[in-house]
Amino acid sequence: MYNSLSYKSKQFFWLLIKLTIVFGCGFFIWKRLATNSEFHFPDFYQNLIKNDLFSIKNIFFLFIFTFLNWFLEITKWETLASFCIKTSKKNAAIQSFASLTTSLITPNRIGEYGAKALYFDKSFRKQIVGLNLIGNFYQMTITLVFGVIGFSYFAYKHNISVDYDKMSQFVLVGIVIFLVLFLFVKYFNSKNNFIKKIQVFIYKIPLKTNFKVVLISLLRFVVFSHQFYFLLKIFKVDISYIDAISAITSVYFISSIIPMLSVFDVILKGTVAIWVFSFFTIEPLVVLSVTTIMWIFNFVFPAIIGSYFVLTFKPSFVK
C-alpha cells in the first residue's frame, strides 16, 4: 500500500514538473512576443508582408537553414553521447529537443544538462553532463573566435573606441587560466579521486571525436550566421557581405558573453543587433524582425517539438 502511494506520488510529481516546464516555456515565449516594449506585432507582421517573407521560396530556405542547424546539433550530440553508450540519431534528436524546451526557462540554458542526463542510466549521468559541457564549450569557442575577428574588423572600420591593450590582456589572461586548468586536470598527479576521474574521462575521449565535434560546431556557426544574412537580404538591407558577416559575428559575440535566461535571448540579441546595425543606418524594426524570426525558427519551433518529448518522457521508475 505504501509503495503504491509512493509510486503514484512520484508519477504525480513528475507530471507536475513536466507540465510546469511546458507551460512555463509557452508562457515565456508568448510573453517575449506580446509584451516586448520595442516589439509591436502589427508593425512586425506588416513588415513581413511588405517584404514577402511568406513566399514559398523564402519559407523553404528558412526551414532548410533551421533543419541544417538542428541536424548538425543532433549529430554533434549523437557523436558525444555515443562515447558513453551507442546513441541513435532519433534518440539524440529527442534528447536535444526536450533539453531545449527545459533549458529555455533556466539561466544560460543550464537546464539542458540535467534534462539530457535523465535520459541515461544513473551510472552514465556524470559523464553525459561532462560531454554536454564539452559540446557547448566548443560551440562557444567557435562563436568567440569568429566574434573577436568580426568585432575587431567592425570596430576598426567604424572607429569604435576599444582599448585593445586591455582587451588583449584580458584574452591572454583567459587563455593562460584555461591552459593552466587544462594542464592541471590532465597532468597533475593528484590523490583526489574526483580529479582522477576527470583526468581519466578527458584521456578517454578520442582525438577524432573532438575534431568531429569542433567541425560540426564550426558548420553550425556558418549555418545560423548565414541564415541571419539571408534574412537581411529578404528585408532588402543594403549591406556588403563582409560588413554583414562582421556585424552578425559581433552580435553573437557580444550576446554570448552576457549571462541571461535563454527565453530572453531574443531581447538581448535584438538590443545588441540594433546597436551594431545602427552603424549601417538600418531601421530598428528591420533588425528586430530579423532577430525575432531567427528566434522563432531556431528556438520556438524546436521548443514546441521538444514539449511533446518532455510530456512523453518517462523516468526509469515508471518504465
HEC assignment per residue over 61-110: HHHHHHHHHHHHHHHHHHHHHCCCCCCCHHHHHHHHHHHHHHHCCCECCC
Name the residue among 314, 201, 100, 6 with its Cα closest to residue 114.
100
Q: Which residues contact 229 (CB under 8 A, 6 or more apart)?
A: 241, 244, 245, 248
| Greatest C-alpha distance within the chain | 74
Position 6 scores a pLDDT of 59
227-259 in b/e burial notation, b at 16+ Cβ within 10 A?
Answer: bbbebbebbebebeeebbbbbbbbbbbbbbeee
For the chain, how big is the Rg over CA atoms in Å?
Answer: 22
Position 205 scores a pLDDT of 81
Position 157 scores a pLDDT of 85
pLDDT tens, per residue, the chain with 319 residues: 444 445 555 555 555 665 566 666 565 666 555 555 555 667 777 888 888 888 999 999 999 999 999 999 999 999 999 988 889 999 999 999 999 988 877 766 777 888 898 888 888 888 888 899 889 888 988 998 898 899 888 888 887 765 555 555 555 555 555 555 555 555 555 555 555 666 566 677 888 998 999 999 999 999 999 999 999 999 999 999 999 999 999 999 888 876 554 555 667 777 888 889 989 989 888 998 899 899 889 988 998 899 888 888 776 545 5
Q: Please give the single-letter amino acid code of residue 103.
A: S
Torsion of CA 77, 119, 296, 37, to 10 degrees: -120
Helix (H) or strand (E) holding 17: helix 2-34
CB 69 within 8 A of CB 227: yes
Determine phi and psi for 105, rounding to 5 degrees: -105, 20
Position 230 scores a pLDDT of 97
Q: How far apart are CA 36 and CA 311, in angstroms?
A: 28
Number of neighbouring beta carbons within 10 Å of residue 264: 15
Place of cell 569557442: 141
Q: How far apart are CA 248 and CA 252, in angstroms?
A: 6
Instruction: Report the half-sphere exposure of 42 (CA within 13 A, side-chain side).
Output: 0
Position 102 scores a pLDDT of 84
Residue 261 DSSP code? B
Position 114 scores a pLDDT of 83
Name the residue among 181, 184, 188 with its Cα closest to residue 137.
181
The residues pairing with 107 across neighbouring beta strands, listed in sequence order, are 261
